[in-house]
Amino acid sequence: MQKKIINKINKELDNNPDLIIKPLKDITIIFFDSLTNTKTINYILRSISHLSKPEINKLNRNLPFCMSNSIKENDIINQLNLGSLVIITKNDIIACVANADLSRGISEPTTEPTINGPKDAFNENIMTNLGLIKRRLKTNTLATNDLSIGKHTKTLVKVLYIKDIAKLEYVEKTIHKLNQIELDGILDSGYIKNYLEDSKAFPTIISTEQPNLVTTSLLEGKIAIMVDNSPFVLLTPSFFIDFLNVGEDYNQKGLNISLTRTFRFLAFIISIVTPGLYIAISTFNQSSIPAPLLINILTQRIAVPIPSIFEALMMLIFFEILREGDIRMPAKIGASISIVGALILGDAAVRAGITSPIMIIIIAITAICSSIFNSPDMLNALRWWRIIILVLAATSGLIGVYLGIVLLIATVASLTSNKAPYLAPFAPLNIEGLKDSFILLPKNQRKERNPLLSDNITRVR
């Protein structure tokens, strides 16, 4: 039996040099050297060496020192890929947990810095991430559904929700979508996110590395999706307002946060509309601004030989390239590039007559307002709509700006997240939901959950 199984494994794995096969006494051990912990294997082997032959024949009963279980012949390769030590005896096949710890430790969030809140973040180990959630949620109603996705990677995916809070219809839709994914491999949660989102522009699923935010979302009735080897957890359904708010808002006074959230929404509008509004006012609707300001703008543009629309597009493109370079470069080099691009080149462009000082100010305001978002998908959506409104303004003036805003509202209003309205709690209107939207009322005044997320809307006080 042992020889037949070993020949089959060698054939399927094509004599992989990383595969270790060792016959010992009446057993054969098999493991991947790169996936297992040498100390654990040595400990198991020393323990086996003290067993008698009858005890070896019933080895699974005599291995209390490790997590072991009997497996079928077809599961051997899967267990080896998980980092297990497979022991083949005369009568049984046993898999022992001996995987090496290949993940990094728990560190602070890098993409979502926290000022006043927990400092721990998810890492690439899905069990560690699950532990960070269970450390916060000590309830027996936290449900976990395990899926294996990817033809070659067979990536472990966990769907988390609280049974007595989350709507089961959302859970079933999510699991159904996940089961329909057919890919060679899932290497990150971003692969799954693209299949679950209902929109190609605005993000409808939150991707976060903060356990605190995931826990808060689960208590509201949302569903969390964990992917092995990814430090980012997906949250669905997610609404537009969720991308303007951050997890640490709930650690501060509601009055202060309400003002901050208002500023965030204004920054969202300004980052989209400002370039187009400037083009419309300076080109078509010059009577809508005071004459001294108009004269000042036109005076600055006398030395610029290109039309305003091309000037704005050129500066926006250069800024986006600068932002991308700043992200991809190492931290120390990236800071230098930002200084050179923003200060030296900007000043040189004005002096050379390629652009006007007012355009530099417009692009700077746009960049500052868009920097409040840490979601790459939201930043990409802002880029698209900024350009759309800019082009409409260049063809129709303020009418084009108004048309662009109407199209933006109509587009956002038509979106859904896991079939839930994207603009909730504004459309459909929910008074309880408004207490945690642009304004944040104290906890004792927020007595109900969003009915779109949960049938159990009453919070425990």
Q: Distance between CA 292 and CA 340 in Å, rounded?
A: 33
On whether the CB atoms of residues 386 and 272 are closer than 8 A, the answer is yes
Domain boundaries, the chain: 2-97, 126-238, 251-417
pLDDT of amino acid 112:
83
Q: pLDDT tens, 56-102?
A: 666 666 665 556 677 888 888 888 888 888 888 877 888 888 888 77
Q: What is the mean pLDDT of residues 161-184?
A: 92
Q: pLDDT tens, 355-396?
A: 888 888 888 899 889 888 888 889 889 999 999 999 999 998
SS3 track for 64-103? CCCCEEECCHHHHHHHHHCCEEEEECCCCEEEEECECCCC
- Classify the phi-psi angles of 207: left when phi > 0, otherwise alpha if psi is within -120 to 50, otherwise beta: beta
The whole-chain average pLDDT of the chain stands at 84
pLDDT of amino acid 154:
87
Question: Of 111, 117, 115, which is closest to residue 231 (Cα–Cα)?
Answer: 111
Q: Is this structure's pTM higher than 0.75?
A: yes
